[in-house]
Amino acid sequence: MDIVVITKLFESIGFPAVIFVIWYIYHQAQVKTFENMMNQNFTILKDLLETNQCHAALLSRIENKIDTNYWCPILKKEVSKINEY
């Protein structure tokens, strides 16, 4: 800005008003930055929630297979060979 404009601004509205305008512009910039950070955090949390749900589903399937005594095919073959003898 031009110095003449700044001095005229001081003369017409006063120094406290100029400080308030500067603070208001700074505050608006900070609010926008904070909103962007919050949106990024919510996106990350949403992705983490989806990952946790996927892991919970996989663990539930594994637990179900353990509870129903469902073995892997290789182990099943080995156990059936042992049982035949």
32 is in which domain, residue-wise?
3-84
| Residue 34 to residue 43: CA distance in whole angstroms | 14
Residues 1-17: pLDDT tens digits? 577 877 777 778 777 87
| Residue 28 to residue 48: CA distance in whole angstroms | 30
pTM: 0.52
Given this model, what pLDDT does residue 9 score? 73
Residues 36-83: pLDDT tens digits? 999 999 999 999 999 999 999 999 998 887 777 666 677 777 767 776
Look at the alpha carbons of 62, 68, 71, 72 in this order and tell me if their dihedral is positive or negative: negative
As for how many domains the chain has, the answer is 1
Going by the DSSP 8-state scheme, the letter that residue 69 receives in this structure is T
